[in-house]
Amino acid sequence: MDIIEIVSQGGLIAVGSLAVSLAYKYFNNKISKKVSSPLNHLFFEKIKYERRVHLKSIKLKYKNKFCKGRTILFTDMLDKKFKIWKMTVREFVSEALKLKATGAELENLSSRYINKIVEDYEREWHTMGVPENVIDKFMEWHGQRIKMLLEFINPICIGDSYDSVEEKLNAILDIHKVLIVITIIDVEKTLGQMNGELTGLEYKGLIIE
């Protein structure tokens, strides 16, 4: 069963369990004395792949027909969010490594950067002309994921399972990586369920069906 099936069938509880499993697996497979650099974490490659390849292949339908307006909106929203997400997480990791942040300091730093990601992509979406009701609807879904992310980061930062800031950052990035797919699902769900709320709105000169 792949991650999309897990998310679809199990919902938020399954996502949380998966995040715990990833962190647990990372800790228990820590055989080498040398910890890989968080700046080389697969999160960065995954988000690059989504932007360059996967997003371009997704076509949204409305009433069982391809909908160009919804598809362009979908792709633009995610591409901008992923660009900001990747750049800001890299800044977070670099600052945490420079400060050798541990415990509460690392948790506070992580929370600050997560809030910055949300503020920055929402501001960019407004600038791009994404309809206000789309942004609001998306946050109804996605706000739960942000809360989940913060809740799982707490024991990573404060607990005794990890010995170094590098290990803690890698565990945090494991959870960020899981949320990439969940974010795609949340945007698709937002645009798929708005129906009449979205129909007739204009985006990039297109009237959305």
Q: Nearest CA to 103 among 141, 179, 156, 50?
A: 156
Over range 86-107, report the average pLDDT: 96
Over range 17-38, report the average pLDDT: 60
Evaluate if residue 74 carries a pLDDT over 80: yes
CA dihedral for 186, 2, 20, 172, sign (positive or negative): negative
Amino acid at 196: G
Evaluate if residue 7 carries a pLDDT over 50: no
The predicted model scores a pTM of 0.84
pLDDT grade for 29, boundaries at 50, 70 and 90: low
Total domain count, the chain: 1
What pLDDT, on the 0 to 100 scale, is given for residue 5? Answer: 42
Which residues sit opposite 207 in a β-bridge? 202
What pLDDT, on the 0 to 100 scale, is given for residue 177? Answer: 96
What pLDDT, on the 0 to 100 scale, is given for residue 4? Answer: 39
Evaluate if residue 199 carries a pLDDT over 90: no
Question: Which residue has better confidence, 27 or 184?
Answer: 184
What pLDDT, on the 0 to 100 scale, is given for residue 25? Answer: 53
pLDDT grade for 34, boundaries at 50, 70 and 90: confident
Evaluate if residue 28 carries a pLDDT over 60: no
Task: Check: CB of residue 147 under 8 Å from CB of residue 118.
Answer: no
Over range 192-198, report the average pLDDT: 83
> d(Cα 200, Cα 207) in Å, to the nearest integer?
6
Q: Identify the weakest region by mean pLDDT among 29-33, 81-85, 102-106, 141-145.
A: 29-33
What pLDDT, on the 0 to 100 scale, is given for residue 91? Answer: 98
Evaluate if residue 39 carries a pLDDT over 50: yes
> d(Cα 89, Cα 68) in Å, to the nearest integer?
31
For residue 161, the SS3 value is: coil
For the chain, the average pLDDT equals: 86
What pLDDT, on the 0 to 100 scale, is given for residue 81? Answer: 98
Residue 32 carries which DSSP code?
Answer: S
Query: Domain range spanning residue 115?
Result: 3-30+37-207
